[in-house]
Structures are given as C-alpha cells and as structure tokens.
Structure 1
Amino acid sequence: MTAIARRPSPPDRFDRRLLSPMMLGSILNPINSSIIAVALVPIGIALGAPARETTWLITGLYLATAVGQPLMGRLVDAYGARRMFLIGSALTLLAGVIGTFAPNIWVLVAARVVLGFGTCAGYPSAMRLIRDEGDRTGVDSPAAVLSALSITTQTISVIGPVLGGVLIDAGGWRSTLAINVLLGAAGLVLGRLYLPPSRRPVGRARIDVVGIVLFTIALVSLLLLVMSPSVGRLWLLVPVLAAGAGFWICELRRADPFIDVRMLRASPALVRTYLRSVLAALVSYGYIYGFTQWMQEARGLSPSLSGLVLLPTFAVGIAVVALTGRREALRGKLIVGSLAQILACAMVLALGDRSPLVLLLAIAVVLGIPQGLLNLANQNAVYRQARSEQMGAAAGLLRTFMYLGAIGSSSASGVLFGRRADTGGMHDLGLVMLAAAVLLLVLAVADRTLGGRAARGD
C-alpha cells in the first residue's frame, strides 16, 4: 500500500487529514496505560500472581515508555513523523499478539514492555506534525488542534478502565491485549494513507547507546528501591547516583545525546513544566490504578462497574478542555487544577469499605477538572517553550516525565497495598497524592513566567 495522492492544503489552514492518524497514535499509550487497571485482579487470579508481581504490568510499560519516549522523539525529529509512526504501529501489533497468548505473568510483562516502546512514537509524531503545520500555515498556536490532541491523549486514559471492563466481561482479560492487534493494524493503514513525508531534510541520528544504558540503570535501580523500600536495599542508591552522574556528564559531551540535557539547562521554564507533569501524573494515575483496585477488592465492585465509575472523569475532562482550550491562561489552569486535585484527595481520605456509590462518583467528577486543565496546560506550555527543531524530543520528554509520575504512583500502590488493596492502603495512597497536589499548587503559584502567553522557544 502506498500513500494516496494528497491535494495541497490551503496555505493558512491545518491539514485535517492528519487528524485521524495523529489521534490514533496519541491514544495508544494512554489507553494501554489505563485499560490494565481493571485487568490486574483478573490477571492475578488467572495466572496465580500476587499484587507485587502484577504491578510490573504497569511498571514494565512505564519503564519502557520512560526510555522510549525521548528516543522516539529524537528519531521523529531526525527521520520524520511518518516513518517512526509506522514502526511504532508495527511494534504495537506485535505486542498485542505476544500478550494475547502469554502463558505466564512474566511473558505478559515482556509483551507490555514491547507495547511501551511501540506506543512511544504516536505523541511526539503528532506534536512534530502540529509544529510543522504551524510553520507552514503561519498559525503560531493552533489552539483547536492542541485542544483536540489533549482530549485524545489525556482524558482518553479514563476510557481505558471502561473499555477494559467491557472487554473482560465479553472475552476475558486476554482481550485487553488482543485489542492492540486491531489498533496497531489501524495505525499502519492510516499512517500509510495520510501521513506526509517529512518536510524537513531527513538526518541520520546516531543512537546514544551509552546514554540509554546509563539512564536505564539509574531508573531501574531507583524503581527497585521505591517498590520495596528497606534498609537492606539502600545500596541501590549507589547505582542510582553513579549512573545518574555518568549520564549527565555523558549527555553534556555528546553532539547527539539520548536526552538533550543542554536543552533542559537552557530552559528552566521547560524543566518546571516537566516537574509539574510528574506531580500531576502521580495524582492522576494514583487515582486510576489505586482507586480502581480499591473499588474491586475493598468495595466489592465488578471490573465493568469500576470502569463505569470513572466515566464522569472522562466526561468532565472533555468538557473542561472544550470550554477552556482556546484560552491559554496556563498559570490559571494549573492553579485551579491543583486545587481540584487537593479537594479530590481529601475526599479519598474519607472513603470506607461501605462508602456510598455517590461519593465514588463525586470523586470521579472532581478529578475530571484537573484531568482536563493540568494536562492541557502542560502540553501547551511545552509547545510554547520548546524550540521548533526540538519539538519531537521535547514532546517525548513530556511523556517521559509524565510516566515517571505514573511509575511513582504504581510503585506507591504496590508498597502501600501489599497483597490486597484495602481501605487503609487507599488512605495512605491518598496522603501521597495529597502531598503531590499541594506541591503542584505551590509550583504553579510561584512560577511568574506563566502569566500571560508563555514565551516561544525559538
């Protein structure tokens, strides 16, 4: 199959034919990040795996994503969005096949790792295409397109538990992996049909193997420590610090680094955006994973009903983006969003084993506000703060930092829940989420550079 003939788009209008592959590619990672939430308990029962092992289904994908996002972002900048989008779709399809027939928990974890790498290409490809279209049309900030992307990449994560519950009821937990065969195939078709060749000269990116290895050693060592903290594991701080220091020095000296730390050093505003993304994700994914497990194991709800309880978060998030997407107001969105997170965390602390369904729905509604505001604000801040030629890498790093927050939330869930997600563990997780929300509010209030329109990176 070859790309269809493309009529020239109007010089001042975004090419709408790009939207379908952009949106599909961008949802692959968040929908797989959340669809597993309602499948953890059925998978554990079917494969005889305790909670501390099923947690690796979440952590494995996020670990692969944390490494793969900046790598894919750089490759998108170097080789073009179309090529990397198609490679990512093929890996997604392959992971779906492996996961569907996985005989044990660790083969399933391996499938999720492949899935993590495969789904990394969609979002940086989309942001690269938006910036290229902005340069072509002369529209500095295509607010409607950025808002649509925010809806599909951020609030779509809440559809995952609902879809997961439906799939489990219809075809068992393996259907939550099999869906990626269809999604990967659709990505290959849409990418071939609609994505244009790169409008920039295609470069040759040298893979920074040393940087990738050092980054992975530091991240895995930190992960092993926070998932099972104890005095006997403090030795893991040695590889964390040694690999982290070596990574920083190595990346500063390379002309084509895995993660461009010079870009981070030159843009403190971009670093603050990434830090806000970590904190926002810690609360959001703590809710999606921890709250969903608690509803099934402590509150006794079915997987499908647990997914439906999260549906208001999705609906409110879309409404918030639709109402506020055309207004930048980055600082105001961050402040209101963090205040809503604080309120929701306080409500989580009031949960009990027999809490009425209306309280669970109220928490879902309140969390829809930051689900829309925070993700939209951080995405638009990166679009403003990153240089044009680094947009793919900057967008990939945004996802990396977001999933570092998700890794933190899944690790906290594994530590605080143990073998069962009881109410006491949910309260402890709520306190962790509350601390992150308060820190996010402090950062938003203190950052005066967000007042008005954030400065364009280039």
Structure 2
Amino acid sequence: MTEVRTTPTSEGRAGPGFDRRLLPPMMLGSILNPVNSSIMAVALVPIGRALGAPASQTAWLVSALYLATALGQPVVGRLIDIFGPRRLFLISTSLVGVAGVIGVLAPNLGVLIAARVLLGFGTCAGYPSAMALLRSEAERTGKDSPAGVLTALAVANQTIAVIGPLLGGLLISVGGWRATFAVNVPLALAAVLLGLWRLPRRAGSGEAPRRGRIAARLDLPGMGLFAGMLVALLLFLMNPHLDTWYLPVIVVAAGAAFVVRELRAGTPFIDLRVLGGNTPLLATYGRALVAYVVAYCFLYGFTQWTEEGYGLTPFHAGLAQTPMFVTAIAVSIVSGRRRSVRGKLLLGAAGQIAACALMLTLTGSSAVWMLPLVALVFGLPQGLNTLALQNCVYFQADPDRVASSAGLLRTFAYVGSMAASSATAASFGHSADTSGMHHLAWIMLGAGVLYLLLNLVDRTLGRLATPA
C-alpha cells in the first residue's frame, strides 16, 4: 500500500489530497500563451491593413511569439526545477503586462513584433509552473495528481485556444486591433496577484538553491548553445531559401557543440543521457511537433482565409470557430477520466485527417454553414491531442525535471507552429485566397497522416494510462 504523506509545506499546506487552491494561478498562468496565440489569429488582417503590411510580414507577429517561447520554455522550466515556480511565475507574468502596454503604444510593425517577443518570454513560466506544482503535490501527498486536475488544466488551455478568435473579434470590434494587446494588462495583474496569494514560497523538485554555484547549476553555456541552435532553426523555417543556406550550418554546428557540452557538464541544462534513454518521451516530443503543425496551420491559415478569401469580418471569423470551442471542451471533459492515452491520440489523428479533407472541399462560394462544420470536426483533435500529450509527458518525464520536460514539450510544439507559420506564408504569399488555402490543406493532410502513423507504431503507449 502506498503511504500517504501529509508533510506541510512552508505555506502550511497539509492533507492527503491535492491542494485545489493552487488551481486558479496554475490555470491562469498556463492560458496566457494560448490566449495571445489565438487572439492574433483574427488580428493579423486588421493589423496588416492598418500598417500596410502584407501577410508575409504580419506572419512575424506569430513567429516572434513562438520563437521567444520555444527558446524560453525549457530555460524557465529548468529554473523552476531548481528554484521552484513562485518567483519565476511572478517575474514572467509581470512581463506580459509590460508587453501589453508596448503593443498598445506601438507606432509600427517592428515595435509590435518586439512586443510579441516580450509576450513570448512573459508567458514561459505558466505551463512549466503548473506541471511542477502538480509534481510537488504528488510528492507531498504520496499520490499521483488526480486525472481531474490534469483535465482541468487541459480544458482551460483548450477553452482559451478556441474561444480566443471570438474574443479577439469582439475586442477588435470594440477597441480596434490594439485592444488585443491591451487585454494582457488586466490578465497579467490578475496572474501576479493570484501568484502572490496562492503560490507556495518553496515548491519544486526539492533541490536547494544553496548547493553549488548558481551559474554552474544553470549551465549557461548549454543554454547559450541551445538558444543559438533553436534561433537558427526557426529563422530558417520562416525563410527556407537557398540564400539562407548558412542557417542549417549554424543549426548543425551549434547542435553538435550542445551535445558535447551537455554530455560533459556536471549539471546539464538538458540531461541528454537521461533523455536519450527515455525513448517514449522522445517519441512524445516528435508527435507533438507534427500534431501542432496541423493545429496551427488551421488556427492561423484557415482563419486568415475566412477573412480574406471568404470575406468574413474578424468577429464573424472568430464566431465561425465557436463550434470547435464547444467540441474541444466537451471532448476534453468526457475523455479526461478515461485511462487510455493511445486511444485519444489515434482518435485525435483521425479527426485531423477528416478536418483537412473537409478543408479541401471549401471554396469562396461554399455555404456559410460549412465553415463552422470544419471547425466542429477540428474540435475533436483539439480536445484530445493536447490532453493526451500533456499526460504522456507527466508520466514519462523524470520527476526531478518535470518542469523543464514540460517546457520542452512546448518547445517542440512551437517548432511545429513555426513550421506551420512558414507553410502558411508560403501558401498564401500576399493574399489568403482559396487556392492557397487548398495548398495549405494538403500540407496539413500529409502531417496528419504522419501523426497517425507515429501513434500506430508506438507500442509503449499501450502501457501508458492516466490514473482514474
């Protein structure tokens, strides 16, 4: 029988069950990134029109956020593993408010892109903090965190990711596109206040910050090499031409140096020996990358087409995606307590393929009800994939590095989003027309089939089940 531990933390928490007072800051912190991702889906066209920028340039508003977040998530996750989530959560969420103010006052596209970079770094702590708190509660209680908590976290992210376009449309109709940046100020203020009120002062992996030199434990050279490798990779994905041939060379060189450094470091930023021996976790990262190529192509590419190619307003473009919101939430709630992870992934892959096939049937003269139908079908994989991938990482990762492992999951997801942004820019060029949308749908369909195959061949998923 598993012993139930009731050792109180420094904040006086005790008891055999998960401390549900932690849920509000966990959920609010984790949604800061998806809310800024999804709101921007309907803001790209109005921003482009206001600033005279084509779709190929406004795509950087998407890429800037994901470039910063893909780099920052594992770094901040490692800091959380060492120091606990409270201080990183408070610092990062404060940056979100600062970025919101800069975005409201931005005079041109360049400053807007800088604001999105700052937003990316500011939203880095939310998700790794939540995963670290889940793990620390599991250690405190002697039990795995209940499936309902993991489901609540996934549902919060799904809700915001899908309701975001509708919220963005409402904000734009009331206050213009600058309102999509202004909304970050009250969100950041609420997150900081909740963090100060509810987050324990000492909650993490148990590593005391006193041991060893901080710089050595942070592995700053490893972080620098990782940053150089990732920035070069994402810049190439955004502009994959022969004249950027030097970027893949930088990726390979920095990657090789990173591997050598991490294998020799006493306290590596990413423990490649442990990670290399954890094939199931590596497979989860790979499938996350592919799944998010499809998801973000739909979020940005399809939404841009409904505005430019089909002629909807930003509000109505967001409204057309409401069925995806309803379906995703319902699917997450219903499937959240089911133990099978593999079944969720396979059904999510099938849903992506079906939705991509439906996109290929759409034209500028299609019946308007076809748009919410496609969104409704996309709601199935939207509700299943994020929940299943999150559960995979929680149970496959080294408990002492669960925050950095969760950050790496987001990094792979954002590499997928950058690939999606590149595919969208290449498909649309200067205008999001129907032929470009069909070209994008074929790319999405290919990624969806690959995602299905990755889940079919991974037999380790059959042994992975969430707790009841």
Query: Which sections of structure 2, spanning at least 5 residues, go unmatched?
Result: 1-9
Instruction: Give the equivalent residue in structure 2 for 1:50.
Output: 54
CA distance in 1, matches of 2:273, 2:207: 23
Pair 1:102 & 2:86 matched:
no
**Distance in 2 of aligned mates of 1:246 and 1:271:** 20
- Pairing 1:365–2:369 present: no
Answering whether residue 230 of structure 2 is matched by residue 225 of structure 1, we say no
For 2:208, the equivalent position in structure 1 comes to 202
What CA distance in whole angstroms lies between the structure 2 residues aligned with 1:318 and 1:68? 28
Q: Which amino acid in the other structure matches residue 54 of structure 1?
A: T
1:129 to 117, 128, 133: 133
* 1:246 alignment counterpart: 257
Alignment of 1:352-391 (within 5 A): 352-391=363-402
Distance 1:138 1:350, change over 3 A: same
Cα distance, 1:50 vs. partner?
1.6
Map 1:148-167 → 2, pairs under 5 A: 148-167=152-171
The CA deviation string for residues 162-184 of structure 1, in whole angstroms up to 9 with x for no partner, is 11110000001111011111111
Corresponding residue for 2:297?
286
Q: Secondary structure at the match of 1:37?
A: helix
Q: Quote the Cα distance in structure 2 between the aligned partners of 1:80 and 1:173.
A: 36
Deviation for aligned residue 1:420: 0.8
In the other structure, the counterpart of 2:267 is 256
**Cα pair 1:127 1:395 within 8 Å, conserved:** yes
Q: Which amino acid aligns with 1:377?
A: A
Q: Tell me which of 18, 35, 45 is aligned to 1:14.
A: 18
Distance 2:221 2:450 in 1: 34
Q: What residue is the counterpart of 2:6 in the other structure?
A: none
Map residues 264-343 of structure 1 onto 2, 5 A cutoff.
264-343=275-354
TM-score (norm 1): 0.95
Q: Render the CA deviation track for 1:172-227: whole Å, top value 9, x for unaligned.
A: 11110111111111111000001112243532643433333333333333333333
Residue 7 of structure 1 and its aligned partner are, at CA, apart by 6.0
Quick check: 197-206 or 45-54, which moved more?
197-206
Return the match for 1:346 from 331, 349, 357: 357
Please tell me the root mean square deviation across aligned C-alpha atoms, in Å.
1.7
Q: Which residue of 1 aligns with 2:187?
A: 183
1:455 deviates by 10
Contact (CA 8 Å) 1:333, 1:373: kept in 2 or not? yes
Contact 1:316 1:369 in 2 (8 A): yes
CA deviation after TM superposition for structure 1 residue 140, in Å: 1.8
**CA-CA distance at 1:102 after TM superposition:** 0.8
C-alpha distance in structure 1 between counterparts of 2:371 and 2:356, whole Å:
12
Q: In the alignment, which of 398, 401, 413 is matched to residue 412 of structure 2?
A: 401
- The 3 A distance-change label for structure 1 pair 258 and 419 is farther
Structure 2 SS opposite 1:38: helix
Distance in structure 1 (CA, Å) of the matches to 2:314 and 2:69: 26
Matched, 1:28 2:32: yes
Runs of 4+ in structure 1 off by over 4 angstroms are none
Question: What amino acid is the match of 1:355?
Answer: S
Query: In the aligned structure 2, how far is the partner of 1:435 from the partner of 1:384?
Result: 29
Once the two structures are superposed, what CA deviation does each residue of 1:301-357 show, in whole Å capped at 9, x if it has no partner?
A: 000010111111111111111111111201111111101100001111111111112
Paired position in structure 1 for 2:146: 142
Alignment partners' CA distance in 1, 2:87 and 2:433: 46
Does the 8 Å CA contact 1:38/1:165 hold for their aligned counterparts?
A: yes
The change in CA–CA distance for 1:102 and 1:259 in structure 2 (over 3 A counts) is farther
Contact 1:385–1:454 (8 Å) recurs in 2: no
Secondary structure, counterpart of 2:375 in structure 1: helix
Q: Given the alignment, which residue of 422, 445, 453 partners 2:456?
A: 445
The amino acid that maps onto 1:60 is A
Instruction: State the SS of the aligned residue for 1:213.
Output: helix
Q: Shift in Å at residue 362 of structure 1?
A: 1.1
Check the 8 A contact 2:42/2:165 in 1, yes or no: yes
For 2:423, the equivalent position in structure 1 comes to 412
Distance 1:225 1:201, change over 3 A: closer
- SS at 1:374 equivalent: helix
1:67 paired with 2:78, answer no
8 A contact 2:147–2:466 mirrored in 1: no
Distance, in Å, in 2 between the alignment partners of 1:427 and 1:213 is 40
Instruction: Determine helix, strand or coil for the equivalent of 2:245.
Output: helix
Question: Hey, what's the Cα distance between the residues in 2 that align with 1:182 and 1:88?
Answer: 15
* Secondary structure in 2 matching 1:115: helix
Say if 1:154 and 1:246 are closer, same or farther in 2 by CA, change over 3 A. farther
Deviation at 1:236, TM superposition (A): 2.7
Please report how far the alpha carbon of residue 6 of structure 1 lies from its aligned counterpart in structure 2 after TM superposition.
5.8
- Quote the offset at 1:414 in angstroms: 1.1
Question: How many residue pairs were aligned?
Answer: 451
1:39 alignment partner, SS class: helix
Q: Deviations over 1:377-416 (max 9, x none)?
A: 1100111101211111111111111111111111111111
The residue identity in structure 1 corresponding to 2:347 is V
Q: Give matches, 1:78-97, under 5 Å.
A: 78-97=82-101
Amino acid corresponding to residue 283 of structure 1 in structure 2:
V
Identity %: 54
Contact 2:169 / 2:314 at 8 angstroms: preserved in 1? yes
Question: What is aligned with 2:5?
Answer: none
The corresponding residue for 2:4 is none
Q: Distance in 1 between matches of 2:74 and 2:231?
A: 17
Whether the 8 Å contact between 2:338 and 2:466 is mirrored in structure 1 is: no
Give TM-score scaled by structure 2 length.
Answer: 0.93
